[in-house]
Amino acid sequence: MLDIGHIHRKEYELDADRSEPLVIAEAPGRIHYLGEHGEPKAGLFLSSAIDRYIRVVVSPRKDSSLRFYAANLGERKRTTLVNLKYKREDRWANYIKVAIHLFADMGYPVKGLNFTLAGDIPQHIGLASSAAIEVAAAAALRGFFKVDINDDDLLDHLILSKELFFGKEANAIDYLIALAAQQDEFLIVDETSLEITRIKSSISEYKILIMDSRVPRMGVEDELKARWQNIKKGLELLSQKKERARLRDFVTEDLIESMGNLPEEIRRHSMHIIQEIQRVYDAEDALTKMDFQALSRVILHSHESLRDLYEVSCPEIDWLVKRAQEIEGVLGSRMTGQGFGGCTYTIIKEGAIAEYRRRLEDYERIFGFHPVIYEIKPAAGTRLIPA
């Protein structure tokens, strides 16, 4: 990664021998292996942070200006505390503004500040790069102001600040993983309680590859909203028997018994949610026992469910998953992200990677898209970096 401290001093013409405080924090991206398409606000995820990060540097200014520099992009933005608001044209800088808003709202003396941003999290493929900017900026400001606030409280303030600043709900799960993750751990994350169960990685002999299919995605938000509406309707019909229930409170047999009362599309979408919850528990058991065959089945069935029941896959992604699963040395492969294109992840032994790459040549020839591969591993969460 870029030497962000050196870049920051050069950008803002800071003398390395002078005593201006310079605070650097980094926050990771994340991946969901299971559970990503679940009941809104009641999901259960198998996730991890990934070893790709956003770093944010902060230092004081002598004036009241707030300056932002994105080193990877060579872009600069500016504002003041009085004018601290969302601006579409400020794009990446808006996420730093969320953290500034947080500490200003808490009463800390936010005056003139310089920020520099750099990172290696791939953009726009569902790896929570924007949340990593917000968490890294908040951690940097926590260090800058020497604030005695723990990660749990910082999480609560980030959620509130994001909702106030953007006027929409924050994704608490992304913040939580970025703050709580530890090296070589998988996390079972419960969205209803924000509780985490930690599982030490038992797949050290495997590599994890994220593959960006480069399939153009259009109308994804509308498609997902339609599914959320179906989930809501399905829950309303099922919960006539259980007040204040969530889909995780039901089992497959409940849907089978209600087949006459549930439209087929709603039944399929609800079935995916219910079965995916169980798959997360099954994956937890398989990882704990190092039962790789069981884990492989869980990943396979999860993708089949996303394809056939929840209907968020596409021919290109299905082709990639199927071809990966045929390779000896692949533990499992599945789509990840919002769907309708996007990415797959594949857990694979190093000796099988060459064959995996060869098959991607067939993909490019058949579908016309040039895929991009990123190798990742479960990684540690947010921390301060020595300046």
What are 268-301's pLDDT values in tens digits?
Answer: 999 999 999 999 999 999 999 999 999 999 999 9
**Segments in the chain forming alpha helices (H):** 4-11, 93-105, 129-144, 151-166, 172-180, 220-238, 252-257, 264-289, 292-308, 315-325, 353-367
The helix or strand, by DSSP H or E, that contains position 117, with its residue range, turns out to be strand 113-119
What does the pLDDT read at residue 17?
Answer: 59
C-alpha distances out from residue 79 to 21, 56, 59, 128, 312, Å = 21, 17, 15, 25, 40
pLDDT band at 31 (very low <50, low <70, confident <90, very high): very high
Q: HSE-up of 82 (CA within 13 Å, CB side)?
A: 2
Report, in this order, helix, strand and coil percent for the chain, each rounded to 5: 45, 25, 35
Can you tell me which residue has the tokens 């902060």?
Answer: 58
Residue 274's nearest CA partner among 257, 258, 252 is 252
Task: Give the residues across from 113 on adjacent strands.
Answer: 60, 66
Q: Which two tokens stand for residue 27?
A: 């926050």
What does the pLDDT read at residue 222?
Answer: 92
**Residue 77 or 15, more confident:** 77
Can you tell me which residue has the tokens 């069981």?
Answer: 294
Q: Which two tokens stand for residue 275?
A: 């079965």
Distance CA 191, CA 312 (A): 21
Specify the CATH number of the domain 206-376: 3.30.70.890
pLDDT band at 135 (very low <50, low <70, confident <90, very high): very high
Distance CA 381, CA 182 (A): 6
Distance CA 137, CA 116 (A): 10
Q: What is the pLDDT of residues 81-101, one digit of tens each?
A: 999 999 999 999 999 999 999
Helix (H, G, I), strand (E, B) or coil at 168: coil
Q: 348 pLDDT exceeds 70?
A: yes
Distance CA 214, CA 216 (A): 6
C-alpha distances out from residue 47 to 32, 331, 387, Å = 4, 17, 30
What does the pLDDT read at residue 329?
Answer: 97
Q: 4 pLDDT exceeds 90?
A: yes
**CA quadruple 130, 133, 134, 139: dihedral, nearest 10:** 160
What sign does the dihedral 158-146-120-33 (CA atoms) show?
Answer: negative
Q: What is the pLDDT of residues 158-208, one digit of tens each?
A: 999 999 999 888 889 999 999 999 999 999 999 999 999 999 998 989 999
Rounded mean pLDDT, 243-260: 72
354 by Cβ neighbours in 10 Å (0-12 / 13-18 / 19+) ranks as exposed
Rounded mean pLDDT, 339-345: 95
What does the pLDDT read at residue 260?
Answer: 62
Phi, psi of 138 (to 5 degrees): -65, -40
Q: 325 pLDDT exceeds 90?
A: yes
| CA triple 32-38-40, angle to 5 deg | 115
CB contact at 8 A, 343 and 126: yes
**Active-site positions?**
174
Question: Whole-model pTM?
Answer: 0.94
pLDDT band at 242 (very low <50, low <70, confident <90, very high): low
Question: For 212-226, 248-262, 373-387, which range has the lowest pLDDT when averaged over its residues?
Answer: 248-262
Note the CATH architecture for domain 4-201.
2-Layer Sandwich (3.30)
Q: Which two tokens stand for residue 48?
A: 């991890």
What does the pLDDT read at residue 241?
Answer: 62
Q: Which two tokens stand for residue 96?
A: 């730093």
**Segments in 67-128 forming alpha helices (H):** 93-105
Q: 3 pLDDT exceeds 80?
A: yes
Helix (H, G, I), strand (E, B) or coil at 57: strand
Average pLDDT score, the chain: 92
What does the pLDDT read at residue 243?
Answer: 66
- Domain range summary for the chain, segments of one domain joined by +: 4-201, 206-376
CB contact at 8 A, 96 and 137: yes
Task: Judge if 4-201 and 206-376 fold alike in CATH terms.
Answer: no
Q: Name the pairing type of β-strands 65-70 and 113-119.
A: parallel
Q: 136 pLDDT exceeds 90?
A: yes
Share of the chain above pLDDT 90, in %: 80
| CA triple 56-60-64, angle to 5 deg | 115
Phi, psi of 53 (to 5 degrees): -135, 160
Q: What is the distance between the terminal CA atoms of the chain, rounded to a whole angstrom?
A: 14
What does the pLDDT read at residue 263?
Answer: 85
